[in-house]
Amino acid sequence: MWIEAPELYWEDCQVTMARLAAAERQIDLAVTSPPYMVEQPYEAGMEWIEYQDLLWNTYVGLDTILKPGGYFVINFGDQCRGKQLLGTQVPSTIPMSVTHWDCGRGVGWELQATRVWRKKRRGMGIPFVCNHYPRPVYDYEHIWTWRKCAETHHEVVRNRAMSQWGVLEFEGDLPKKRHVAAFPLGLPEWAIQVYSDIGNLVYDPFMGSGTTGFAALTLERRFIGSEIDESLREQVENFLA
């Protein structure tokens, strides 16, 4: 099947989503991993309230373009900088599930499933270990699937067997040099196969190094991506060519 070239926007995802909404374009699936606010260069100077606003505005923007019955698969980790952000006495964790729950329910979506990605590449040896010093570090992250409500209660899951996996492990992680926070190719491949059909439109509001786009195109889906870091432009465009 011929798939059109990806649409890549080097801008804030809010601008892209407003552009798509104005054109009355809808996406079938969104897959992303937002910034974690762990002192990466692209998060420099961001305050805690600004970070919460970023997440909320992302959900609101996606709600304007996600088709009814469509899905949003989001990968996120718990915030490990409680001491710096909240002034706790010892290194502590902020459970980001609370924020994502408030955002998703705030736009009226239903939480279809929660899963765990066990990150083999941490090499800690013991499943679900937590190294708490000098700050909490976990060998797992969360993968949540939200569904936008529709007129029908019919739930469309394209690969029922893959959808039943509760703890996800992915082989063949992309080299970290591609992006400081790249997730493995297997993660968007899994999400796309479970929650979309061939020819569907997939969107990643925090495209990074283009992993979601590569998975989408390989699996014969159309792709739109947004990324504010233009230093990645040549790399991503070559990767998705």
Domain boundaries, the chain: 7-239
Residue 96 is encoded by which pair of tokens?
């980001």
The CATH number that domain 7-239 falls under is 3.40.50.150
**Number of Cβ within a 10 Å radius of residue 202:** 27
Q: Please answer whether residues 82 and 92 qualify as being in contact, where contact means their C-beta atoms are separated by less than 8 angstroms.
A: yes
Which amino acid type is present at position 240? L
CA distance 188 to 38: 22
DSSP conformation class of 134: S
Written as tens digits, the pLDDT of the chain (241 aa) is 667 889 999 999 999 999 999 999 999 999 999 987 766 666 667 788 898 999 999 999 999 999 999 999 999 988 776 566 667 777 677 889 999 999 999 999 999 999 999 876 545 555 555 655 555 667 789 999 999 999 887 777 888 888 888 999 887 554 455 544 578 899 999 999 999 999 999 999 999 989 999 999 999 999 999 999 999 999 999 989 8
CA distance 212 to 77: 18
